[in-house]
C-alpha cells in the first residue's frame, strides 16, 4: 500500500527563517496502539526517570534525546542535544502544550492521539546550500525538533517559531486525519490554494498578500489541510491583538477578514463538536503560560 510521509520542514537560511514544506500522510494508524512501556532497557539518569514519570506514564509518549542511527536522518550531520538543554525543552513542552491540552480535553485524549515519539536534536540539520531544518514530523507518530542546544527560555517568540508552532501544527493534522472537518471549509478559499508555489507566490509589490485572500500565513495557501491546521496553531499561539494585526495589518482587509472569520468559526465548531475542545479556553491557558514562561523553572526535574 502506498504511503506518504507526513513531513513538515522548517527552513532557516543564513539570513531569514522561512517555512519550507509539509506533506500530509493520508493514512494514519491509531498511535495509541504503540505501547512504549515495555520497549528496551537502559541505564536511567535522573532525567530519564523524569521522562518516565512525566511523559511515558501519563501520556505514553517517549521523548528521546540520545541520538542513534534509527532516529536520525542519514542525509544530515547533526549534533546531539546537551542534556541540560533537553531538560529545558522537555519541561517547556509539558508546560506550554501537554498540560494546556490536558486541562481542556477529555480524559486520555493526549494518550490516544498525541505523537508517541518526540526526538530532540542539538543542532540544525544542515543542507548543502547553507540552510538547515528546524523541525520535521512523520506519519503522526514522531516529531523531531532541531537546534535544541539553543533553547532560550527567556524568548517566547523564538520558542514559538522554532518549536511550538511545529508541535501544534502537526498535532492538529492528526486530529483532522481521525475526524474530518466540514467540507464547507474547503469552499472558502477553494480557488486560491497555490500548492508548492506558496513560498514565492505572494512575494513582490505587484502580488496580493496571502492575508488578503483569507490566509493566516503564506504556508496556509499550500492546501486545504495546511490552511486548517495553520489557523489552529496561530490562533493558539497569538494574542488577540497579534491575531488581528496579522489578518488585517492595514485596517482595510475587509474581504480577507471576512474569509478568515468564516474559517475560524468552522475551526472552533469542529474542535468543540468533534473533540470537546473549546479553543478559546485552550488559547487562554497557553497565553497565560507564555506570559509567565520567563519565570518558569525549566530546569527542575524533581
The model's confidence at residue 101, banded by pLDDT at 50, 70 and 90, is very high
pLDDT > 90: what percent of the chain?
A: 71
Burial class (CB in 10 A: 0-12, 13-18, 19+), 205: exposed
Reported in sequence order, the residue ranges of 24-161 that DSSP labels E, i.e. its strands, are: 62-64, 117-120, 125-126, 132-133, 135-138, 142-145
The model's confidence at residue 205, banded by pLDDT at 50, 70 and 90, is confident
Which pLDDT value is given to residue 73? 61
Which pLDDT value is given to residue 29? 43
Which three cell numbers, joined as nine digits, stand for 101? 491540552
Chain position carrying cell 504556508 = 219
Q: Are 120 and 167 in contact (CB under 8 A)?
A: no
The model's confidence at residue 140, banded by pLDDT at 50, 70 and 90, is confident
The model's confidence at residue 141, banded by pLDDT at 50, 70 and 90, is confident
Which pLDDT value is given to residue 128? 66
What count of Cα atoms within 13 Å lies in the side-chain half-sphere of residue 254? 0
Which pLDDT value is given to residue 13? 39
- Rounded average pLDDT over 223-229: 97
pLDDT beyond 60 at 28:
no
How many residues does this entry show for the chain?
302
- Domains contained in the chain, CATH given: 7-295 (3.40.390.70)
SS3 154: coil
pLDDT beyond 70 at 204:
yes
Residues β-bridged to residue 9: 21
Which three cell numbers, joined as nine digits, stand for 202? 505572494
- Phi, psi of 267, rounded to the nearest 5 degrees: -60, -45
Q: Are 144 and 137 in contact (CB under 8 A)?
A: yes
- Point out the least confidently predicted range of 49-63, 118-132, 153-167: 118-132
Which pLDDT value is given to residue 96? 98
Per residue in 248-283, pLDDT (tens digit) is: 999 999 999 999 999 999 999 999 999 999 999 999
Q: Higher model confidence: residue 92 or residue 15?
A: 92
Q: Higher model confidence: residue 133 or residue 286?
A: 286
Which pLDDT value is given to residue 131? 58
Which pLDDT value is given to residue 146? 92
SS3 128: coil
Which pLDDT value is given to residue 68? 72
- Rounded average pLDDT over 116-128: 86
Which pLDDT value is given to residue 239? 96
The mean predicted confidence, pLDDT, of the chain is: 86
Amino acid at each position: 500500500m502506498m504511503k506518504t510521509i507526513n513531513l513538515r520542514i522548517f527552513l532557516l537560511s543564513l539570513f531569514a527563517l522561512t517555512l519550507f514544506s509539509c506533506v500530509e500522510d493520508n493514512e494514519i494508524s491509531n498511535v495509541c496502539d504503540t505501547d512504549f512501556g515495555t520497549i528496551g532497557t537502559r541505564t536511567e539518569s535522573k532525567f530519564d526517570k523524569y521522562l518516565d514519570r512525566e511523559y511515558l506514564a501519563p501520556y505514553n509518549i517517549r521523548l528521546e534525546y540520545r541520538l542513534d542511527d534509527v532516529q536520525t536522518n542519514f542525509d544530515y550531520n547533526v549534533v546531539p542535544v546537551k542534556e541540560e538543554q533537553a531538560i529545558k525543552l522537555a519541561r517547556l513542552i509539558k508546560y506550554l502544550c501537554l498540560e494546556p491540552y490536558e486541562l481542556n480535553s477529555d480524559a486520555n485524549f493526549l494518550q490516544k492521539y498525541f505523537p508517541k515519539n518526540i526526538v530532540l536534536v542539538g543542532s540544525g540539520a544542515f543542507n548543502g546550500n547553507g540552510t538547515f531544518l528546524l523541525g520535521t514530523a512523520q506519519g503522526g507518530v514522531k516529531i523531531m525538533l532541531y537546534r535544541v542546544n539553543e533553547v532560550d527560555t527567556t524568548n517566547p517568540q523564538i520558542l514559538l517559531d522554532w518549536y511550538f508552532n511545529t508541535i501544534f501544527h502537526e498535532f492538529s493534522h492528526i486530529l483532522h486525519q481521525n475526524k474530518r472537518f466540514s467540507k464547507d471549509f474547503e469552499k472558502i478559499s477553494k480557488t486560491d490554494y497555490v500548492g508548492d508555489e506558496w513560498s514565492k507566490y505572494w512575494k513582490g509589490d505587484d502580488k496580493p498578500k496571502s492575508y488578503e485572500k483569507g490566509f493566516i500565513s503564506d504556508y496556509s495557501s499550500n492546501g486545504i489541510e495546511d490552511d486548517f491546521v495553520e489557523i489552529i496553531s496561530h490562533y493558539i499561539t497569538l494574542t488577540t491583538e497579534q491575531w488581528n494585526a496579522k489578518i488585517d495589518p492595514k485596517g482595510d482587509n475587509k474581504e480577507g477578514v471576512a474569509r478568515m472569520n468564516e474559517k475560524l468559526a468552522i475551526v472552533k465548531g469542529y474542535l468543540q463538536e468533534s473533540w470537546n475542545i473549546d479553543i478559546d479556553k485552550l488559547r487562554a491557558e497557553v497565553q497565560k503560560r507564555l506570559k509567565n514562561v520567563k519565570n518558569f523553572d525549566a530546569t527542575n526535574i524533581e
